[in-house]
Structure 1
Amino acid sequence: MTTGLQITRRKTLGLFAAAPLAGWAGKGFAAGATVKIGLVLTMSGPFASSGQIMANAAKLYLETEGKALLGDVPVELVIRDDGGANPDVAKRLVQELVTRDGVQYLGGFQWTPNANAIAPLLNRAKVPCVLFNASGANTTQLSPWYARTAFTHWQVNQPLGEWASGSRGLRRAYLLTTDFAPGHDAEEAFTKGFTNRGGEIVASVKMPIQSPNFVPFLLAAKEKMPDVVFAFHPGGVQASAFMRAYQEIGLRSAGIQLIGPGDLTSDEELPNIGPAALGVITAGQYSMAGDRPNNKLFIEAWKNAYTFSPVRPNYMAAGAYDGMHLICSAIAATGGKADAPAAIEAMKAFRAESPRGPISIDPETRDIIQNIYIREVRQQSGNELANVEIETIPNVRDPWKIAHPL
């Protein structure tokens, strides 16, 4: 298969036992026109490392499992940089990818505002688009051409709230969330789960998305002496800055539990955060520490492919890896032909064993169904910190869609 991708010390592995689409198992495909996949990612600016992680994961899938799935169907990745949360830039890039570059599929999209902005273009162009990370609950309702292999904050944070006030017995919560669409979803979802089990929200405070100083926000939270501080921010480099402030303010020594979605202690940032993260509890769909055969093979393949980079795979890598798997499954199901309706129908039938566990696409919403893991940062052998999975909530659908069907 010709992908036009270069990966250092590539190792071809028969990695993961993906469930084939019904009726397509073992079907061969003749070589034909190259299928172009356009990825819109943040490859510059303060969140460039996240975009690079997703680009690496997408390439890794094509160079390993994708080869076996696609056979002789040639695929080309066309990666474009949106520079961050820039809806106008995202629209321009999608317009160019569709009209100039002739892409047959779209993927990527770290930012919900960017993903939401391109929905009218998808509706006109009828191009399937897989969301690797954008997590706004209503995004997939904006166009029938979306599918999602990421998560929604309702899917992660409502179960976390129920666990915190139910299983953990925490009664009073102080909320700190970044002031943009995913932060609003995180706030509302955690609130619903926490209060459903008898918890009380002491205060809910929004933080700016750009270069926030977390210290005054955490000081104000400490003054209220809640049982728990729930926090959400966009992750990446902000994870280390937040945890430094958390340590400086002394929330843990004051007996206040810090919890939140996986962005708080994302795997790639744990080495930078250091011991400040110990004991922090998060909910998420992926952890490098997950004790699953497919996860161990995924990490081995990542290390073999990217020996030049110290960056570790995280939840964004899982979203991009599985997103490319979903796109390649649709390409296989359509024999590489440009048949968008058939591609979307194939995506609705998708199910696989992923590094994060069993996954499938909900045919009603085109959102992912997946396990949500409650994790605690613990020190493992060699003094390495890890998000250790301590409880599994299986096969979680997006609860926002259940409450807000079309």
Structure 2
Amino acid sequence: MSITTKRLAASIAISLTLATNSFAAEPLKIGLVLPMSGPFSSYGKQIERGVQLYLQENGDNFAGRKVQIILKDDTGAAPEVTRRVAQELMVGDKVDILAGFATTPGAMATAQLSANAKMPMVIMNAGTSSLTEKSPYITRTSAAVAQYTAPLGPWSVDNGMKRAFTLVADFGPGHDAERYFTESYNAAGGQVIGSVRVPVQNSDFAPYLQRIKDAKPDVVFLFLPAGEAVTAFLKGFSDRGLAQENIRIVATGDLTNEDTIDALGNAALGVVTAHHYAETHNSPENKAYTAAYYKSYNNARPNFMSVGGYDGMRLIHEVLKKTKGDASGDAFINAVKGLTFVSPRGPIEIDKDTRDINQTIYIRRVEQKDGRLINAEIDDSLKNYKDPGKQ
């Protein structure tokens, strides 16, 4: 090696060392955009708990950079508020990474900011399939709606339910759910004999339940925001005797999530759902996760949103290990492609082409165990399942 070549190599090594030291000297600012007030506050609470639990267990130093979580409340109900809050974090707080995003409209409103600034944006809950296509710097640690909707079509037909009625909330994820269930159900040989879209915050299901009763389907596919709407629907379904007429319910797993399942009461028993996480999932990782969650949060029950927050922080941590602390957009997103690890939900992979999450989707049934309602996994055959909306 010539003297000139040696000098050049030494210069490069010094530059890389200085760059690494430069990253290490700077805090890692993560702007967490979540609804901490308003109708979606339970979403924000679960995601934040997952975030904080990860830091509690793994420390607040990622690749030599001290993690600073800057939490902003977007209420989850107004996309323009989410966008404004994200912009404040980017310009005022100078965050390195945006994360959180409990609802699709807010995430959609923020995506262009991420694209323009080349800023990593980690979606911890919002589920519309096209979200990851709105900025090349978006990745996701929750699930796409299509992942836990499309499997219910063939499952219903395989289990003798050949005539379906769909009822979904009238917004982006609801439209996705309706589309993917209908397509997969029809492809499996079923027939959708009726459908209705209801306002997102609707609480009166009497006219819709009568339409379902008159149509006499074998099964109702249901997609509503978790919480009061689901409780109202299931109560009305029971009160009107639809279950006694052998009409069954299949739904996306967020409807029976552990944060709200107890409030649903016995009307939820027998409801079949598809989803990516259940508190009762039987794995060493989940047993450790749930035990830590119970201890930290006074025996509150963790749900899929908490795991989205927990895994979102692990994703950021793993990426910074690979980049040696570099959180710039291109370095971050290149490192995230193909990333794999075992989550409390099971093995996950960030797809190298779509930057979306591939994971096991479980078919579950609401059952009662030890005096409480649970989502009992009855089928785990859909492993490393990609978002059907991108295939």
- TM value normalised by structure 1: 0.88
2:38 counterpart of 1:45: yes
Secondary structure, counterpart of 1:377 in structure 2: strand
Letter in 1 for 2:272: I
How has the CA–CA distance of structure 1 residues 28 and 189 changed in structure 2, closer, same or farther, with 3 Å as cutoff?
farther
Alignment partner, residue 317 of structure 2: 328
Secondary structure, counterpart of 1:253 in structure 2: helix
Farther off after superposition, 117-126 or 330-339: 330-339
Match of 1:112 among 95, 104, 126: 104
1:160-239 residue pairs with structure 2 within 5 A?
160-165=152-157, 167-239=158-230
Which string of whole-angstrom CA distances, capped at 9 and with x for unpartnered residues, describes residues 323-376 of structure 1?
111112222222323422111111113111111111010010010000010000
Match of 1:155 among 147, 150, 157: 147
How has the CA–CA distance of structure 1 residues 106 and 219 changed in structure 2, closer, same or farther, with 3 Å as cutoff?
same
2:55 counterpart of 1:78: no
Match of 1:299 among 285, 290, 293: 290
In 2: Cα distance, 1:160 partner to 1:29 partner: 50
How has the CA–CA distance of structure 1 residues 71 and 331 changed in structure 2, closer, same or farther, with 3 Å as cutoff?
closer
2:347 counterpart of 1:358: yes
In 2: Cα distance, 1:229 partner to 1:346 partner: 42
2:258 counterpart of 1:267: yes
- Structure 1 regions of 5+ residues with no counterpart? 1-26
Letter in 1 for 2:385: V
2:239 counterpart of 1:251: no
1:71 positional shift: 6.1
Alignment partner, residue 29 of structure 2: 36
Letter in 2 for 1:275: N
1:276 positional shift: 1.2
In 1, are the aligned partners of 2:227 and 2:260 still within 8 Å (CA)? Answer: yes
How has the CA–CA distance of structure 1 residues 80 and 396 changed in structure 2, closer, same or farther, with 3 Å as cutoff?
same
Secondary structure, counterpart of 1:321 in structure 2: helix
Between Structure 1 and Structure 2, the one with more helix by share is 2
How has the CA–CA distance of structure 1 residues 311 and 249 changed in structure 2, closer, same or farther, with 3 Å as cutoff?
farther
Match of 2:373 among 382, 385, 403: 385
1:114 positional shift: 1.0
- Structure 2 regions of 5+ residues with no counterpart? 1-19
Alignment partner, residue 140 of structure 1: 132
Letter in 1 for 2:135: S
How has the CA–CA distance of structure 1 residues 236 and 55 changed in structure 2, closer, same or farther, with 3 Å as cutoff?
farther
1:72 positional shift: 4.3
1:66 positional shift: 5.0
Which string of whole-angstrom CA distances, capped at 9 and with x for unpartnered residues, describes residues 233-276 of structure 1?
11134332332222222221221111110122111111111211
Secondary structure, counterpart of 2:379 in structure 1: strand
In 1, are the aligned partners of 2:114 and 2:135 still within 8 Å (CA)? Answer: yes
2:361 counterpart of 1:369: no
How has the CA–CA distance of structure 1 residues 346 and 192 changed in structure 2, closer, same or farther, with 3 Å as cutoff?
same
Match of 1:61 among 54, 64, 82: 54
1:155 positional shift: 1.2
Secondary structure, counterpart of 1:119 in structure 2: helix
Which string of whole-angstrom CA distances, capped at 9 and with x for unpartnered residues, describes residues 88-126 of structure 1?
111111111011101101111111111111121111111
Secondary structure, counterpart of 1:288 in structure 2: coil
Letter in 1 for 2:234: M
In 2, are the aligned partners of 1:66 and 1:328 still within 8 Å (CA)? Answer: no
In 1: Cα distance, 2:256 partner to 2:233 partner: 10
In 1, are the aligned partners of 2:270 and 2:366 still within 8 Å (CA)? Answer: yes
How has the CA–CA distance of structure 1 residues 249 and 264 changed in structure 2, closer, same or farther, with 3 Å as cutoff?
farther
How has the CA–CA distance of structure 1 residues 66 and 358 changed in structure 2, closer, same or farther, with 3 Å as cutoff?
farther
Secondary structure, counterpart of 2:278 in structure 1: coil
How has the CA–CA distance of structure 1 residues 28 and 369 changed in structure 2, closer, same or farther, with 3 Å as cutoff?
farther
- TM value normalised by structure 2: 0.91
Letter in 1 for 2:112: P
Secondary structure, counterpart of 1:391 in structure 2: strand
In 2, are the aligned partners of 1:36 and 1:105 still within 8 Å (CA)? Answer: yes
2:387 counterpart of 1:395: no
Count of aligned pairs between the two proteins: 371
Secondary structure, counterpart of 1:222 in structure 2: helix
In 1, are the aligned partners of 2:203 and 2:228 still within 8 Å (CA)? Answer: no
Query: What RMSD, in angstroms, separates the aligned Cα atoms of the two structures?
Result: 1.8
Match of 2:85 among 93, 98, 101: 93
Secondary structure, counterpart of 1:118 in structure 2: helix
In 1, are the aligned partners of 2:119 and 2:328 still within 8 Å (CA)? Answer: no
In 2, are the aligned partners of 1:236 and 1:263 still within 8 Å (CA)? Answer: no
1:216 positional shift: 2.3
Greater relative contact order, per chain length (Cα 8 Å cut-off, separation 6+): 1
Farther off after superposition, 49-58 or 266-275: 266-275
How has the CA–CA distance of structure 1 residues 334 and 230 changed in structure 2, closer, same or farther, with 3 Å as cutoff?
same
Letter in 2 for 1:38: G
In 2: Cα distance, 1:331 partner to 1:89 partner: 29
In 2, are the aligned partners of 1:330 and 1:346 still within 8 Å (CA)? Answer: yes
How has the CA–CA distance of structure 1 residues 66 and 197 changed in structure 2, closer, same or farther, with 3 Å as cutoff?
farther
Secondary structure, counterpart of 2:151 in structure 1: helix
In 2: Cα distance, 1:212 partner to 1:41 partner: 24
